[in-house]
């Protein structure tokens, strides 16, 4: 496929890593209600969560850049690879948010 660079897969990989990072930290650790402090305690959990959200937003922004910079503005045909990369990263990011904030935890 000459219209799709293989480097475009990287933003999906980064988005998947961000989902794992976001959901690796429980809400109790963020609030400081966990039983153990761990290596860095509550501050380390918040930093880990922040880096996870940072990677998630970065992958979503990168997918927008791939869509518009690689397919829409140069008017390449077909444009579906750019739309596919964007939708993949949007669904990864929003599923991570739903899984993190859409559930309850029993501590």
What pLDDT, on a 0 to 100 scale, did the predictor assign at position 42?
84
**CA pair distance 56, 96, nearest whole angstrom:** 9
pTM for the model stands at: 0.86
Per-residue pLDDT of the chain in tens (107 residues, 90 and over written 9):
567 788 889 999 999 999 999 999 888 888 877 766 667 788 888 999 999 999 999 999 999 999 999 889 988 888 899 999 999 999 999 999 999 888 876 65
What pLDDT, on a 0 to 100 scale, did the predictor assign at position 55?
97
What pLDDT, on a 0 to 100 scale, did the predictor assign at position 105?
67
Q: Which two tokens stand for residue 68?
A: 């518009």
- Rg (Cα) of the chain, in Å, rounded? 17
């Amino acid at each position: 496929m000459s219209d799709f660079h293989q480097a475009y897969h990287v933003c999906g990989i980064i988005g998947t890593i961000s989902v794992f990072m976001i959901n690796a930290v429980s809400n109790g650790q963020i609030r400081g209600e966990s039983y153990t402090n761990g290596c860095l305690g509550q501050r380390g959990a918040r930093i880990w969560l922040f880096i996870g959200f940072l990677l998630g937003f970065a992958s979503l922004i990168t997918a927008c850049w791939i869509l518009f910079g690689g397919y829409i503005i140069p008017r390449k045909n077909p444009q579906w690879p750019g739309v596919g990369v964007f939708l993949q990263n949007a669904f990864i990011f929003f599923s991570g948010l739903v899984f993190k904030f859409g559930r309850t935890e029993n501590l």
